Structure 1
Amino acid sequence: MKRIYLKQGVAALTLLSASIALSHADTDVAQLQQQVAQLEQSLKQLKTELSRIQSADQAKAGGAEAADENLTADAGAEAGSESSLEAEDDQSFVTRAELQGLQSDLENYKYQVQRERDTKTALSTRQLLINGVVQTKASYIDEPQVTPPQGANTGNAVNSRRSSFDLGAVQIGFSGNLFKDYEQGKNLDFNLRFGTSPQSGTNNSYLNLLDAQLIYNVLPTLSPDTGRLSVTLGQQLLPFGQEVQATEDLKPTINNALFSLPGYGYGLALREVGLIVRGDALPTVDYGYNYRSPMISYAFGIVNGNGANKSDDNDDKNFVGRLRYTLPAEYNSWLRELSFGVSWYQGRSNLFETSGASASFAGKGDVLRKGFDIYYNHHPFGVTYEYVQGEDDTYSSQSASVYKRESESHTGTLFWNFGEQFVKGFRNQGRYDDWWPKSYQAFYRFDSIDRDTNADNQLIDIHSLGLNAFFAETTKFQINVNHVNNELINKSYNELVAQFQYGF
């Protein structure tokens, strides 16, 4: 019996131990479930807080709209939301040290740029553009040039010279804006230019003032399809013909036309001090080609009449005027750039009676210049012609009287362009650095002046053949062969001139 009771007690203890173990296991599971639930709640709160912080950062940075999602889905939804959080974690963030390093680099860059501007940049109070031109040339003449010394003055003496290296025009200019009208374009501009050229037999080639002008645009300039009107006060070129107004970079020949030069010609290329009004009307505009051609162009003004950098030498002012008519043709028309112009210059100059080394006033004489010109330039062919007639009252010491000296000049040019530069589409192409379309211009020019049509042996004729090579935007090489027939010295000779011209 005792064995039976003992076995029953052992079984009871075993059952009691199992029940106790099961009860403890149930308690552990419940605690684990409670902890998991708390962790899930904390994770949800962290995700919500993270979404709120990201939305606030995006709003401060002016970014896109914040996506504020509730992560309250089941386990599958939670897995999807966690993957989306991992994608968001791919965004880049910087530390405070990295941000401070970037700020330091920006400050260093600002300092470098400011230092470069202060130490290596030309500064001006107003808008300024610096430009210039330099000509270097070599020449050969098959007729020896001889200039005997004048007494003890040997500086101008030339002994049988046939060849020479020379500098042509050397100029530097400054132009800019003094007042900019943003509403109508009635701007106030300025132009200042200095230049020099070699003097025969001396090295006193000083830098002289060429242009000094103030230009005010009276009419609006913002729209290309309206007329223009400007007033220029100061020292400037005369609005007479084509050759006088052409800048160095546009002249096909190395030597200027005879009529424009002092001495042999009328000296019209010399600057004058005065007031000149320029304008145009009825323009033809092609916006596709950036082309503007006024049908009527005009200029008129009043000047001292005795050259540059001088006060007037008498109380009479000289008058100048020019009118040009251009056919109103579209850009693609074969009549484009066909124009006719007339020019006029009139004034009075001092006359002198010379006797040995002394001179005295002999009164005043009339000066008159009348010109007519034709211009046609349609790629690849072009032609220009200019006729000038002059009348000058001249004092004759032999007869002690004043007579009217009449003269006339003819200048004609034929040229043929070939190459890409003369096609605007090639120039407008975007190319790297200093690319420029290569092109060439061959020409023939006839230049003649009869200094006194009523006297013999006063004619000078020059026939020129030449080639211009354009190989950079502001650079060209020129070579001219000139045959000169000079009746003043009763000689005919040939001349070869090569010139390299560059601008900036």
Structure 2
Amino acid sequence: MSQSIIQPIRLGTFALTLLSASIGISHAETDIGQLQQQVAQLEQSLKQLKSELGRIQGGSATTPKAVSADGADELSATDDSNAEEDATGQNFVTQAELQGLQSDIENFKYQVQRDRDTKTALSTRQLLINGVVQAKASYSDEAQLVQPQGQNTGAAVNNRRSSFDLGAVQIGFAGNLFKDYEQGKNLDFNLRFGTSPQTGTNNSYLNLLDAQLIYNALPTLSADTGRLSVTLGQQLLPFGQEVQATEDLKPTINNALFSLPGYGYGLALREVGLIVRGDAFPTVDYGYNYRSPMLSYAFGLVNGNGANKSDDNDDKNFIGRLRYTLPAEYNSWLRELSFGVSWYQGKSNLFDTTGASAAFAGKGDVLRKGFDIYYNHHPFGVTYEYVQGEDQTFNPQSATVYKRESESHTGTLFWNFGEQFVKGFRNQGRYDDWWPKSYQAFYRFDSIDRDKNAANQSIDIHSLGLNAFFAETTKFQINLNHVNNEISNKTYNELVAQLQYGF
């Protein structure tokens, strides 16, 4: 073979040898890197085992820190018993512990969802359910006797002195229909049903009391600005104090005479209409969560013939109220001293009942004027309310319309003692159903003269009472009333006890 052929073969053989050597070296470097990584992982596992062994033998816990390990699961532990710490201060958990925690979280999510689906009342919009129930017993030293009339024997009462009764029984639903997060111009609703004991029948049906839509026309997010709301629907009249007071705030068991139908003006009956309410120049103390506007006002138009009824004439009745509260700080002795005036005016249908059937006799004017004073500064409080009424009434004997004038006085003195009336006690955080015990003693004078131009038209009631508050929504009341009724020509005493609870 010639020298020219042998030389290229030698060069090719040498090139192949170098290529094989380089490939072998690269494979060796790769194996060495993998071995080094495996050794590092083994060393890491050995450190974990040593740390766990030291923890078990020493019985001491370490403060957990952030977990960081190459190729290991990371977890920020808060339980020292489940954490391991190596020499560098890093903490670790085992795979089994991590899986156990994930399993507990999944079980918790399932239980919460199950409780929501099976044990929680749901609604399309925000909803608050509330109610009140009054159970009472009474005794009078004057026996009541009502003779049966015709075939109606259900209303007859035979020498009754005592009775068990249910007072107001109500259930309400309140909530939000539109929430304005930027300014607080929310659209809310209020729906309430109630019943009261009936004489001569057991048909105490659940009647509609309140059905309202309330729109806040001014922002409500800040407590130091005025408010303005528009309420459309069936609602209480903004007249005086007694009419607007909720059941949990009334000191007496029986309502003031002027607010009741029959003897009084029936101002506590709901009316259907449109009423605007607002306030201005509030005094705010954020530390006590206290807000008291200097001026409060309300005005509107209503049908004027009671609840759950369409208007019986083409005249709407006007209602208006203005209240001035002395601007004072929370710790001032003049706090909650206010003066209010109320006005209600409209027309009602008059009837001539002398014939075989009633006939329209035109329309008569209805006017109610009220003035009230309110002062409540722990532990003493006083309220007074005066109402004057003017009603055009048809006289069937003379077939003429005359103006009947009437007036009413209602005054209450009360003294509070106990922890509930101190705001700091109520704000204490308690896990159980703890509530500060407190008591309220009061005296009330309630009087009405239904016709100032006629004799024997007055009713006077003097009441002494004690209210015991022993739960957040529960109170026990006992009243001793001395009644002088000139209309029925009876004077008697009655003892009334009542347990009231709400939710």
Superposition TM-score, scaled by structure 2 size:
0.84
Q: Counterpart amino acid of 2:466?
A: L
Aligned partner of 2:465 in structure 1 is 466
Give me the whole-angstrom Cα distance separating, in 1, the residues matched to 2:115 and 2:86. 47
Deviation string 1:204-246 (CA, Å, 9 cap, x unpaired) is 1000000000000000001100000000000000000000000
The one-letter code matched in structure 2 to 1:257 is A
Q: Does 1:395 find its partner at 2:394? A: yes
Once the two structures are superposed, the pairs formed by residues 25-424 of structure 1 within 5 Å of their partners are 46-47=39-40, 57=70, 61=74, 86-87=86-87, 91-95=91-95, 99-355=98-354, 358-424=357-423
Structure 1: which 5+ runs fail to align?
Answer: 1-38, 65-83
Measured in 2, the distance between the counterparts of 1:110 and 1:431 equals: 27
Question: 1:355, CA displacement in angstroms?
Answer: 2.8
Please list the CA deviations of residues 114-166 of structure 1 after superposition, one character each: whole Å capped at 9, or x if unmatched.
22211111000000000000000000010000111110110100000000000
Which is worse superposed, 111-120 or 369-378? Answer: 111-120
1:110: Cα distance to partner?
A: 2.5
Q: What is the identity percentage for the equivalent residue pairs of Structure 1 and Structure 2?
A: 85
Q: Which amino acid aligns with 1:159?
A: N
Cα deviation for residue 469 of structure 1 reads: 0.3
Give how far 1:433 is off.
Answer: 1.2
The whole-number CA distance in structure 2 between the counterparts of 1:228 and 1:85 is 60
Q: Which residue of 2 aligns with 1:503?
A: 502
SS at match of 2:105: helix
The 1:258/1:357 distance shift into structure 2, 3 A limit, reads farther
Call closer, same or farther: CA 1:487–1:89 in 2, change over 3 Å: closer
- Pair 1:213–1:57, CA change in 2 (3 A): farther
Q: Could you tell me how far apart the structure 2 residues matched to 1:226 and 1:86 are? A: 60
Distance apart, 1:288 and its partner CA: 1.1
Gap change, CA 1:320 and 1:108, over 3 Å in 2: same
C-alpha displacement of 1:430? 1.4
Contact 2:366 2:390 in 1 (8 A): yes
CA separation in 2, counterparts of 1:150 and 1:57? 98
SS at structure 2 position matched to 1:259: helix
Alpha-carbon distance in structure 2 between the residues aligned to 1:458 and 1:147: 21
* 1:104 to partner: Cα distance: 4.1
Over aligned residues, Cα RMSD in angstroms?
Answer: 2.5
- Report the equivalent of 1:483: 482
1:93, distance to aligned residue in structure 2 (A): 2.8
* Aligned equivalent of 2:23: none
CA distance in 1, matches of 2:38, 2:121: 63
Contact 2:128 2:174 in 1 (8 A): yes
Q: What amino acid is the match of 2:227?
A: R
| Change over 3 Å in CA distance of 1:98–1:424 after alignment to 2 | closer
TM-aligned CA deviation for residue 108 of structure 1: 3.5
Kindly tell me: are residues 99 and 462 of structure 1, through their superposed partners in 2, closer, same or farther at Cα, counting changes over 3 Å?
same
Q: How does 1:419-430 map to 2 (within 5 A)?
A: 419-430=418-429
- Which SS does the other structure have where 2:478 is aligned? strand
Distance 1:90-1:217 versus aligned 2 partners, 3 A rule: closer
In structure 2, the partner of 1:76 is none
SS at match of 1:335: coil
Aligned-partner Cα distance in 1 for 2:222–2:125: 24
Deviation at 1:99, TM superposition (A): 4.6
Structure 1 residue ranges (4+ consecutive) displaced by more than 4 angstroms after TM superposition:
42-45, 47-64, 97-102
Q: 2:85 touches 2:92 (CA, 8 Å); kept in 1?
A: no
**Greater CA drift, 215-224 or 102-111:** 102-111
Aligned residues: 444
> Which residue identity lines up with residue 93 of structure 2 in the other structure?
F
TM-score using structure 1 length = 0.84
Q: 1:330 to 1:99 in 2, by over 3 A?
A: closer
The answer for unaligned runs of 5 or more in structure 2 is 1-31, 48-66, 78-83
- Report the alpha carbon displacement of residue 87 of structure 1 after superposing the two structures with TM: 3.1
